[in-house]
């Protein structure tokens, strides 16, 4: 399944990703969509920072070579437009690994793709949730992501009082600080 340099049909593309077949027709450079359209193009795992890389010039995996957000038509109105409940056999959209010939389909395909790249090829993607430029309210956690700031829960005005139906509001103890 893994391509090798001796494979006559495989084309290996290396950073800075400007030298690939018909590169002059793609001024935006190499993207995941272009890789997906050319199933015999591959990236070399040794070009990227990983737990097993010894390449001193290794780079982080570029986000333009990740599958785009919202790529899966199964999540969108496309299936309604097609008038069927699912894709015909063999026609469902698939994500392909940029390092080997493995492909993934379905609504969880991107997560499976990321896990495959990490577990098989030892290359971690940048976690978009860790970026500093996000404007979400919260505080940085020890896990490197933002967690919502927990606010005290005000006491219920009904605590300990009789309701009209004759039942008491349950007292869950003091939950505020």
Please report, for the chain, the start and end positions of each structural domain, with discontinuous segments joined by +: 11-130
Query: 11-13 and 41-43: which strand pairing?
Result: parallel
Q: Using CA atoms, how far apart are residues 20 and 93, in angstroms rounded to an integer?
A: 25
Cβ burial of 48 (10 Å; 0-12, 13-18, 19+) is buried
pTM of the predicted structure, to 2 decimals = 0.65
Q: Using CA atoms, how far apart are residues 34 and 39, in angstroms rounded to an integer?
A: 9
**Residues 3-62 pLDDT 10s:** 998 999 999 999 999 999 999 999 989 999 999 999 999 999 999 999 888 889 999 999
**Residues 63-92 pLDDT 10s:** 999 998 876 655 445 555 655 556 666 667
């Amino acid at each position: 399944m893994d391509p090798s340099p001796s494979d006559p049909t495989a084309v290996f593309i290396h950073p800075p990703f400007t030298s690939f077949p018909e590169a002059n027709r793609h001024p935006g450079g190499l993207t995941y969509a272009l890789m997906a359209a050319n199933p015999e193009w591959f990236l070399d795992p040794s070009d990227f920072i990983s737990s097993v890389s010894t390449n001193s010039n290794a780079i982080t995996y570029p986000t333009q070579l990740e599958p785009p957000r919202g790529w899966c038509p199964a999540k969108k109105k496309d299936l309604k437009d097609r008038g069927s409940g699912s894709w015909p056999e063999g026609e469902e959209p698939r994500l392909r690994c940029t390092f080997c010939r493995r492909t993934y389909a379905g609504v969880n395909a991107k997560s499976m793709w990321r896990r495959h790249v990490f577990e098989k090829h030892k290359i971690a993607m940048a976690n978009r949730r860790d970026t500093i430029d996000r404007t979400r309210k919260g505080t940085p956690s020890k896990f490197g992501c933002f967690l919502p700031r927990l606010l005290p829960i005000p006491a219920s005005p009904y605590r300990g009082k009789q309701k009209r139906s004759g039942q008491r509001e349950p007292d869950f103890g003091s939950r505020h600080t």
